[in-house]
Amino acid sequence: MKNPRQLLKVGLQSLTLIIFVVAASAQAAEFPELGVVPRNGGFRMEGYWVWCGSVIKGDDGKYHMFASRWPKDITFHPGWMTNSEIVRAVADRPEGPYVFQQVVLPARGADYWDGRATHNPSITRHGDTYILFYMGSTHPFDDPPRGVPFALTDPRCIVARSNKRIGVATAKRIEGPWTRYDRPILETKPNSFYSFLTSNPAPVVHDDGSVLLMFKSRRYEGIKHSQMMLGVARAKHYLGPYEVAGGEPVFSANKFGEVEDPFVWKTAEGYEMIAKDMTGKLVGEKHAGVHAKSKDGLRWELAKRPKAWTRKLRWDDGVTQTMGQLERPFLLIENGRPTFLFAATGDGPGGFANMTQSFNVAIPLVHH
């Protein structure tokens, strides 16, 4: 029989092992696992392409999704640049199904910076004010022809793409009315990494009303545009003024790798981000999800397990399917932790031109 000292030694060794295992598990448990997806959840609309789902719980206890839509008889890509509008849909549960309620930011005329298209909604709240970050654009041409292929080389697309800017709209009630502003909050700047466009806003509004805003950019390279990059801007108030921090992108083809569609949230340790790996350089799989962390929002590092998800979904009807597209991620965060991942997807093997329908999917997250 072992004496008390030996028993104490064994006990301490066991405790050390348990602590080591728990710590290792905590380090490994990075982004939650994707759960089983309700086939009849999410949001779709007959006759429209649907994209960009962003969800918030309202004072009515319901879940409100702000999404982008544009007519299906206009080519998906680049039709979103010229004809997208932001709408609101509602559901009793976070997984949906979401039912269309209203057009939130319709076209309002070519002379407005966001007069012809609104896209990339990201809904949040500060105090009694709902804040809708989004991308807007304009162009001076007629709408694209219906039912006729529409290409990136079309003048409408060229001008609309170069006019993409980030703005905000505000409201006291989720149903509106929404106040729109005459200027974007994040303009382009000559001779910078965001000289061509700003889009894909990923805001974190802090308790004091200040904002950390990650955004997608491109710069002019001659008369062409560069690959996409991610930058960070800051403001003392969500209406601005915003100042781009650091003077350099935080993600680019030369820094980590090319990513798109960021979503950023605040944690006790700093900030976390998920995004779409455009080339597979970061996580080893093209168009999978990448997970990164930062203490200050400017200096980022990949998570220990940087692949947040693949495009393979498990539906509740027993079907496992690799989606052609799975992008524009948005997290519903409740009681301090992510509960649902919302993403835009569509049918087909991949590539926008191969889709016949698109919709927003609600994916439960499983924490271990």
The span from the CA of 231 to the CA of 214, in Å, is: 6
Nearest to 360 by CA among 310, 317, 320, 313: 313
Closest to 65 in 3D by CA, of 132, 154, 152: 132
Q: What is the pTM of this model?
A: 0.92
Contact status, residue 138 vs residue 113, Cβ threshold 8 Å: yes
Burial class (CB in 10 A: 0-12, 13-18, 19+), 80: buried
The two structure tokens encoding residue 116 = 């012809």
pLDDT by residue, tens only, the chain of 368 residues: 445 455 445 444 444 444 333 333 334 448 999 999 999 999 999 999 999 999 999 999 999 999 999 999 999 999 999 999 999 999 999 999 999 999 999 999 999 999 999 999 999 999 999 999 999 999 999 999 899 999 999 999 999 999 999 999 999 999 999 999 999 999 999 999 999 999 999 999 999 999 999 999 999 999 999 999 999 999 999 999 999 998 999 999 999 999 999 999 999 999 999 999 999 999 999 999 999 999 999 999 999 999 999 999 999 999 999 999 999 999 999 999 999 999 999 998 989 999 999 999 999 999 98
Which structure tokens are listed for 19? 């602590």
Q: Which residues contact 329 (CB under 8 A, 6 or more apart)?
A: 261, 263, 274, 275, 276, 289, 341, 342, 343
47 backbone φψ class: left, alpha, beta (φ>0; ψ -120 to 50): left
Q: Is 313:320 a contact under the CB 8 Å cutoff?
A: yes
Rounded Cα gap, residues 119 and 13, in angstroms:
57
